Structure 1
Amino acid sequence: MMTLLLLVSAFAAGALNAVAGGGSFLTFPALMMAGVPPVNANATSTVAVSPGALASAFGYRRELRTIGQSINLPLMIGISLVGGLAGALLLLWTPERLFEAIVPWLLLFATALFAAGPTVSAYARKHFTMGQTSLMVLQFLIAVYGGYFGGGIGILMLALLGVFGLTDLNAMNGMKTLLSGCLNAIAVVAFVAGGAVYWHEAIIMTVAAVAGGYVGASVARRIPGPVLRKFVIVVGCLMTVYFFVN
């Protein structure tokens, strides 16, 4: 029964990440429900969804060539790698009981961020401006959060790039996908080196997530975007309530 839960959640997460994002709202709680400790569940969830993110970034390679004219892409990647590693190490150093206590708050923050994402992005673009230095500093902070937990980092990155002045949504999505894939990849290295990954569960979910990204996305694209967003928000709310209660 638990194996089926992991398969279904990872498959759905792969499809969601390819279209709307928010897949970690499914994989992380599923692992905890399967009895994986919180820190290990977060690490294992990151391992499971990372291949799909990097595969998606490859699909944006044409848009990424044009974005280098306004942003130092290699530097952004480097900053994301350093921040992702710092966040992952911070997670590994967090006592299990402390992380278990803050899990509901992290889920609440990520759900609220996902729900308010479009509004936050529009407000930030209208009222703020930033230069290269501010962009790099804020990207580092987002990467640290991404390596530590990761829920809602796509929304944060899109808002950041919008405030910086980018307007091509495909290019922004490409950069967001590449940077999140990079920081997740370096976090995976840290989690593996730290022995935090539950490999049986990780392998099951990685296969299902990749299948979901390739097969499920074709089905998910036929569902209106707002419906998918509402589904992710509802799941996030239910998981937040569940972990507050338990």
Structure 2
Amino acid sequence: MDWLIIAFAGLLGGMLNAVAGGGSFITLLALVFVGIPPLIANATGTAALLPGYLASAWRFRKDIEYPANLSLKHLCLIAVVGGCLGAAILLNTSEQLFAHLVPWLILLATGAFIAGPWLLRKRLSVATASTTVRPLSAVIILTLVCIYGGYFNGGLGIILLATLGLMGQTQLHGMNGLKNLLSALLTTIAVALYATGNLIDAQYLLLLAIMAIIGGYIGAVIAYRIPQSLLRGFIVCVGLAMAIGFFIR
């Protein structure tokens, strides 16, 4: 039964990431349900979903646009440094402390799912491509977001999209390209550090990753057949239920 739960979670998580994001909610819930401690479940789920980030980054590589006059080299450095710092903080977080933080992190990510699309639409409705932040401010903001991604990863995509929109970007494909690149880079670095700290549970990793890849392909096929509002509503409900569950746990 545990293996079936993990397989289904990988499939559903991959589908959600391809269509609307939020797949890490599902993988975290499933891994904790089958008995994996939250700290290790977070790292394992992130590692399993990494191939999807890499594939998405490659798919959108030609659409990437850079905010606040930052170069590709600067942005890659921000992602690597942020991912390293976030993963390092996770490695030095006790299981007890992380268990206390999980419901708050889930609420933060769920809030991003609720507010992110609204913020993005509001920014895209402004017919200007002017930069709203200085380069130094952009570096600080993106570094903080990447640190969050290296630490927890939940809701990272929508948080990055909202951040890029507030920085002045208006082309959604370009924003998606940069979001996927930053996510792939920081997650790759974070997963490498997770592995050095023995935070990845190898028992379920391969099955979870394979099913997530399959789910990603299925999600791409059905992306235009299921309303994103319905999927986002489902993710928000799952996030709120998980937060409540961890609070009373």
Q: TM-score, normalised by structure 1?
A: 0.93
Q: For the Cα contact (< 8 Å) 1:39–1:92, is it kept in 2?
A: no
Q: For the Cα contact (< 8 Å) 1:10–1:209, is it kept in 2?
A: yes
User: Which deviates the most, 155-164 or 143-152?
Assistant: 155-164
Q: For the Cα contact (< 8 Å) 1:87–1:143, is it kept in 2?
A: yes
Residues 219 and 35 of structure 1: is their aligned pair in 2 closer, same or farther, counting only changes over 3 Å? same
Matches within 5 A, 1:200-215: 200-215=203-218
Shift, 1:163, TM fit: 1.9
Q: Which residue of 2 aligns with 1:130?
A: 133
Matched, 1:82 2:97: no
Matched, 1:7 2:7: yes
Distance in 1 separating the partners of 2:52 and 2:183? 11
Q: For the Cα contact (< 8 Å) 1:16–1:217, is it kept in 2?
A: no
Instruction: Show CA shifts across 1:84-143 (max 9, x none).
Output: 1110111111011111111111111111121111233456777x9202211111110001
Secondary structure of 1:94's match? coil
User: Which deviates the most, 209-218 or 84-93?
Assistant: 209-218
Letter in 2 for 1:12: L
Shift, 1:219, TM fit: 2.2
Letter in 1 for 2:15: A
Unaligned 5+ segments in structure 2 are none
Q: TM-score, normalised by structure 2?
A: 0.92
Q: Which residue of 2 aligns with 1:108?
A: 107
User: Which deviates the most, 69-78 or 25-34?
Assistant: 69-78
Q: For the Cα contact (< 8 Å) 1:11–1:216, is it kept in 2?
A: no
Q: For the Cα contact (< 8 Å) 1:6–1:31, is it kept in 2?
A: yes
Letter in 2 for 1:245: I
Secondary structure of 2:226's match? coil
Q: For the Cα contact (< 8 Å) 2:82–2:146, is it kept in 1?
A: yes
Distance in 1 separating the partners of 2:114 and 2:67? 30
Shift, 1:67, TM fit: 4.4
Given candidates 162, 166, 189, the residue that maps to 1:163 is 166
Secondary structure of 2:190's match? helix
Q: For the Cα contact (< 8 Å) 1:44–1:202, is it kept in 2?
A: yes
* Identity among equivalent pairs (%): 43
How many residues get paired? Answer: 244
Distance in 2 separating the partners of 1:179 and 1:84? 9
Q: For the Cα contact (< 8 Å) 1:29–1:239, is it kept in 2?
A: yes
Q: Which residue of 1 aligns with 2:240?
A: 237
Secondary structure of 1:151's match? coil
Instruction: Show CA shifts across 1:128-185 (max 9, x none).
Output: 9202211111110001111110122222211221122111101101110110111111
Given candidates 144, 150, 155, the residue that maps to 2:147 is 144
Shift, 1:4, TM fit: 0.8
Q: For the Cα contact (< 8 Å) 1:39–1:196, is it kept in 2?
A: yes
Shift, 1:2, TM fit: 1.1
Q: For the Cα contact (< 8 Å) 2:67–2:169, is it kept in 1?
A: no
Q: For the Cα contact (< 8 Å) 2:67–2:167, is it kept in 1?
A: no
Supply the RMSD in Å over aligned alpha carbons: 1.9
Letter in 2 for 1:210: I
Letter in 2 for 1:109: L
Q: Which residue of 1 aligns with 2:194?
A: 191
Letter in 1 for 2:77: G
Matches within 5 A, 1:11-90: 11-64=11-64, 67=66, 70-90=69-89
User: Which deviates the most, 143-152 or 69-78?
Assistant: 69-78
Unaligned 5+ segments in structure 1 are none
Residues 160 and 216 of structure 1: is their aligned pair in 2 closer, same or farther, counting only changes over 3 Å? closer
Distance in 2 separating the partners of 1:26 and 1:221? 21
